[in-house]
Structure 1
Amino acid sequence: MDRASWIRLWNADIPPKLKVFVWQIFNRALPTSEALIAKKVPVHPRCPVCWESAETMEHLFLDCPVARALWGFSGMEHLGEGLPRQTFPLFLKRLLGLIQSPGLFMAIVCLLWRIWRSRNWVVFEGKQFGFPALMRQFHQQYEEWVSLSPAVGARQARSPRVSVGGDSRVVCMWDGATKLGSHSAGGMVLMTPARGIMLVKGYQLQGIDDPMVVELLVLREAIVWCLELGVVDVRLEGDAKVLIDKINRADARSNRVGAVLEEIMYYVNAHPGLDIRFVGRRNNRVAHLVARKALSLYPAMSRYFDFRAWLSSRM
């Protein structure tokens, strides 16, 4: 671990045990199965959480289904796009080096800590866990750490927010794409009020081919993505008129998507700056392009693809 990375870690507004935890990652000192086997400790080589692969740090924090789900649902998976993923310590070092927000720095470390804790529950206590509970624990722990860190809380309070109302609001375009009987994908584009591209995200949904469900899941993902980025005043534009009308009428009566509709309505009520609007397909073209591109990448993992560079080349 180089001196600059160590100084940045030591000065970070995170609990001391988290600093030790990140130091262990940087120095490959976590007792994963791979590390224990290298020290001649007789342990099973498979990941104890998913049993899909050998338990390396790269698998545990990036490729394990639990890790992928946490990165995705936290809205932070886009942060590592384009970074080398061959070794997780190098990936994390470069990722944290790009982060300027103390709150986002803490959120990334908190997410990694949740992954490690869930792994230890299985190994040492034989506990099984549900993913919704894991997400709740991640958010609760992050809020607790922020409350104990006045520096992070103060900086978050002073962080710039987009002004509410009119054309001065940031725009997030979203759209879904479906290959019936197979799989689906979503595309989201965060744009300045002048329609300049800021961030682009494409992702895949496996085992879902109902167009209505796909559109709603993409909208939920877009909302979570914006909130995690700190963009709380945003106009979310999509071309799913039926669903948008249901949301604006607060109508969650649907056997297929009622629960997701209620979750989106909760976000809208909790964050008055969220404005969900219908636009025609022609005006939602950029999000549609990203969704179709993510769909075409199946079965490759779309998170490795630079959607922003690709979209910029098409504009």
Structure 2
Amino acid sequence: MGYGPHRFFWRALWRLDTLPKIRVFTWQVGHEILPTNGKIANIRPGFNKGCPRCGAETETLLHALRDCPTSREVLSIGGWSSSFISKSYDHCIDWLEDLMRVLDKRAMADLMTILWNCWNNRNNFIFRGKEEKAQLIWERASNLSKEFRICNMLNEPLISQNIGKKKWVKPPKGFIKINFDAAVGENRIGYGTVIRDEEGFVIGGGGGFKEGRLSVEEAECVAFKESINVARKLQISEHVLFETDNAGLVNRFNNLDNDVTIIGARIKECTAAFTIFKSAILSWTERSCNNVAHLICKEMLRETKSCFFDMDYPSEIHDAVT
């Protein structure tokens, strides 16, 4: 035994999804350093090497964990087929390594939890004269595995919480990107916009507030209109890509021909101003990609103020951009 012929076993055992003490137990099993009667008899002449539970001639570790009638019954209750527990091996590590080649990480962790409980049951018999029924041993091992998974959330959730946030993306070559957003308060709204070139450099932006009770879509229309005004003030006339994180506004923009609502009319007023650009597109983006415009509109709403800036923009905008 050692790190040569069983290197895959030693590498795999520390990746088991189980309690640290059961990983250590697996390591001890691999080295066969647990004090079975056969092990003790090798270093203490005259010591009875037989199995204290079933009377087998020699209690090896493989016998204690797998072949002793109580241990075998526990494994059978756990659903382990005879093909897993009947093949002959010289050492316990050979048996476990073969199982690692056919079992996944979770199943192997469950098996080692069962064997750990079997070993504890064997010790209880020797030192306390008490041996539990196989069904109880298996249930204790099963509950331990389930509780460990619940506490450590080993099962992946249906919707992962580790979704990476997307970042703002530079516009296509020859385009200017204009991000805008609106924040709705109880009796006023705030709006904000930031304009960047194809290299991602900020060339201007601004924001403000408007008194009154407006819906989210109405507020987004105001932000859309004001972003066009900021672009006009900066004398931007290139190809322009507008971005918002409001999907409803983009859907209305894409179906303007069939939209006869007041919101639709306001969007049409905005598109009428597109004549100052070579071309203009409105598209949706995620909130994480629109964070600078969102920062501006929230500040305008909170401070009830207006602002306009060119390439010499405020430090808080610089921090958000970088």
TM-score, normalising length: structure 1 = 0.45
Which of 1 and 2 has greater Rg?
Answer: 2
Greater helix proportion: 1
TM-score, normalising length: structure 2 = 0.44
